[in-house]
Homo-oligomer: A and B are copies of this chain.
Amino acid sequence: MMSPLLKASAVSTAIFLLGTIVFAREGNNGKGSPIFGVQLPSGYRRWQVVSVAHEAGSLNDIRVILGNDVAMRTFRSGTRPFPDGAVIARLAWRYEPSSQNNAVFGQAQSFIAGDPTNVQIEVKDSRRYAATGGWGYGQFENGIANPSAALLNTCQGCHSKLPWTEDRIFTHYAR
């Protein structure tokens, strides 16, 4: 038999763990990103590939851009603007040389994905995000929404500099 004290302790540990899991899964306690309230979409890691890229300089990452079904249909058809419901996910990892691969190839040529840096999510909702061209933004580290509003203003600031024909999206579909 478990003593009442141990039992109470086990129950409160379980409640604490449950709370932690819910917090991590919902990102920022369910509120999502600042300004936009964008959430980390469930299942985004299994979405289809739009394209890949490497950002050098201070970012120094290697990244893949994924889309939900609505976004992929639009990328493949080449039509713009993206319809409401399109969601794009950009996953980035530290850009690192691969000692394993370079040893096999006999020369330093291979760069791979290291630890994850962050995930950025863009959601098209032409009414809700009318002030930012129809797109809402969020950045997530370890599943938690980054709380910086200044950061998200730099997102939409850069995206708004693209030619209007791109509908504020940098990436083109890689055929």
Contact = CB atoms under 8 A, between A and B. Distances in A.
A109 interface: yes
B158 A105 contact: yes
A10 B64 CA distance: 45
Contacts of A57: 107, 109
B62 A104 contact: no
Interface stretch (A14-22, A23-31, A44-52, A124-132): A44-52
A101 interface: yes
Given A46-B48, A174-B116, A110 B55 contact: yes
A100 to B, nearest CB: 7
A91 B104 CA distance: 20
Interface in A95-121: 95, 98, 100-101, 104-105, 107-113, 116
A162 interface: yes
Interface residues of A, number: 40
Given A104-B158, A105-B158, A158-B105, A93 B174 contact: yes
Contacts of A51: 93, 112-113
A53 B161 contact: no
A31 B66 CA distance: 33
A115 to B, nearest CB: 8
A59 interface: yes
A158 to B, nearest CB: 6
A55 B109 contact: yes
Interface of A: 45-46, 48-49, 51-57, 59, 62-64, 66, 91, 93, 95, 98, 100-101, 104-105, 107-113, 116, 158, 161-162, 170-172, 174-175
